[in-house]
A and B are shown apart, each in its own frame.
Chain A
Amino acid sequence: MVEKNRKHLTRRGFLKASGAAGAALGSAGLFFHGIQSGRNPASYTGWKTREGGDQTFNRKRFAVDSPTYEKAGEGQRVDARSGVVFSRLPGLMRYWRENRGMEGLPEYLQLYYKEHPEDFDLDLYNYRELFPKMRSDAVRYGDAFLLAEAWSHAMSAVQVEPISEPPEIADFPGRRRGFMGGDPQKPLKMKTPQKTSRLIKKIAHELGSTLVGVTRLNPDWVYSHPMRGRGLDPDEYLEVPKHWEYAIVVGTPMSWDPMYANPNYGTSEDAYSISRIVAFRLCAFIKRLGYAARPHYPGTSYDLMVPPIMVDAGIGEQARNSVVITPELGMNFRAAVVTTNLPMMPDKPIDFGVQSFCETCKVCAEQCPSGAITMGGKEVIRGYRRWHLHAAKCYNFWNSNLGNMGCRLCVAVCPYTRKSNWVHRAALHVTANDPTGLSHHALTRMQKVFYPGPDPQDYFMPSLGGKNASYRPPPWWLRTEDFIEL
């Protein structure tokens, strides 16, 4: 017996057996490494924000001299009163309630609806039919979203004081600048714009911004007529103030797991809340240095359009659905902007392949229940060539499903909106470095086969023939039925 055992335990036999065991253990180890990588909290990009540890993409390698949108004529500024659906619809409702008809609408709305007759029907449908339907569906089917709604409400509980004065007053620092040195009447002399940029980015990260970028402000992005509640008269043409020389973009991701459970369990309020607080704090910091600063922040307190400023600042590229795709967070990013006269070194825009990828992919357009995202090519819009988003259709869907306000489905389904594990990082680097575009086709195919979503019709609320579906199931902590007796 002993002899037999010895025969089996020769040195060479042991080495071979060890090799086989090593192969099995190594493979099993990789499998379990995968499981932990998938669950790892470190893959929830945003958790290392304060040390700048989430802005990890090497943007310098992909820097370009011109932004990836194309200028195709004279730029036209947007009239926020009619061009922004959040301003237009309340305007329509206010005047429509008074039964004044089309002629009773203010001139800017009449003009807008004359140019966009489809939007008039869509806006009216939203106001007259969708709102009441949503309310009655919420009573019948809304229980499932009680926790999600409470969570969103909690995230929006801390608000900032609205800006009540025009830029020439609100943006400038007060007389006192603290007790430390320097002439309190003069801006501090900064050493170089490069150093100032570096400082501001570090401060923005410390304040809680996951991504930050700096650009010179293109006046085309400023609204010709501003939104309400900004210390400006919406009916007066807004001359771009001279001190809005630079724009700093800051922002944070929405919580990852609820975001995948859109259009109903997720909320924008978590990222909104952090981004607006960062913007206000950054303004306070800049004003302490003696320079002008003005925050433009979510939900609807902007004097300008944010996506093209993000593109200019090298944060990302504008996608098929008009939202900006960033390398680190995909579209899972809610931004605020600070306009200032603090001299800084602007960042360069980046080109990491999004235009080509979006040309192929179209996942967002296929999944969008409202049909707001075009399946076609780019168009010239206000002097710039880009994909068109039909905002009125998009906004109508916000009132066509239950759960939290908004939709964010295009954010959730985008192949770039993935957590930071090795699978998705590898895919990002392949697409960013592939000049042929072949990988875009392959990865798009994989996205559709590996990560399919429900039928778009299922995202609607029951009275509109849907099932209140979400792209992915809600996280355990938003499942109302597991915590509350219904």
Chain B
Amino acid sequence: MFFTSGLFWFIEGILACVVIVGLKVWAEDRSVSMPWWKIGLIVLWWAWAGFTAAFIGTSIGEGEPHAALMGGIVFTVPAIVAAVLLWRFLGPGKSGKRPEPRS
């Protein structure tokens, strides 16, 4: 059961670090400022999205397809709306103008 093992969570931790570094580079390249509260909002959204994925998976795994479907609707729709709002609100999607990337 790899996905419930300690090794899985170790790899998840590494992936989280990679995501954070990638996000930092991406923000720098687009001159998007990243104060702590923006990072907080992104982490919250990330946690919500992770919860949604894990909830749907768990419901399928325990033989509750209806719960997976309802979870997919109830949790995914706000996650998508929040993602769009975050994109618009946090910088890059605000003006629609992309600054030149740093080399």
Binding site for B on A (CB under 8 A): 10, 12, 15-23, 25-40, 42-43, 419, 421-423, 449-452, 472-473
CB-nearest residue of chain A relative to B63?
A472
Q: B4 contacts A40, CB within 8 Å?
A: yes
Given contacts A31-B53, A422-B54, contact A451 B61 (CB under 8 A): no
Provide a sorted-by-A list of 9 A–B residue pairs whose CB atoms are within 8 angstroms.
Answer: A22-B15, A23-B19, A26-B15, A29-B8, A36-B61, A37-B4, A37-B54, A38-B61, A422-B54
How many angstroms between the C-alpha atoms of A37 and B56 in the bound complex?
11
Q: How many chain B residues have a CB neighbour from A under 8 Å?
A: 41
* Least CB distance, B56 to chain A, in whole angstroms: 7
Binding site for A on B (CB under 8 A): 1-4, 8, 11-12, 15-16, 18-23, 25-26, 29, 46, 49-50, 53-64, 66-67, 70-71, 74, 101-103
Given contacts A32-B3, A449-B70, A450-B70, contact A26 B19 (CB under 8 A): yes
Task: Give 6 nearest A-B pairs by CB, closest first.
Answer: A19-B22, A38-B61, A34-B57, A38-B62, A22-B18, A34-B58
Given contacts A34-B58, A38-B62, A40-B1, contact A27 B29 (CB under 8 A): no
Cβ–Cβ < 8 Å partners of B23 in chain A: 19
Q: A38 contacts B63, CB within 8 Å?
A: yes
Q: A29 contacts B62, CB within 8 Å?
A: no
Given contacts A22-B18, A38-B58, A39-B61, contact A30 B29 (CB under 8 A): no
Cβ–Cβ < 8 Å partners of B8 in chain A: 29, 33
How many angstroms between the C-alpha atoms of A35 and B56 in the bound complex?
8
Cβ–Cβ < 8 Å partners of A20 in chain B: 22
Partner of A451, one of B11, B12, B64: B64
Cβ–Cβ < 8 Å partners of A38 in chain B: 57-64
Partner of A26, one of B50, B55, B57, B63: B50
Cβ–Cβ < 8 Å partners of B20 in chain A: 19
Q: B49 contacts A27, CB within 8 Å?
A: yes
Tell which of A31, A40, A42, A43 has the most Cβ of chain B within 10 Å: A31
Cβ–Cβ < 8 Å partners of B64 in chain A: 38, 450-451
Partner of A34, one of B15, B16, B21, B55: B55
Partner of A450, one of B29, B67, B102: B67
Cβ–Cβ < 8 Å partners of B62 in chain A: 38-39, 43, 419, 421
How many angstroms between the C-alpha atoms of A19 and B14 in the bound complex?
11
Given contacts A12-B25, A422-B54, contact A36 B67 (CB under 8 A): no
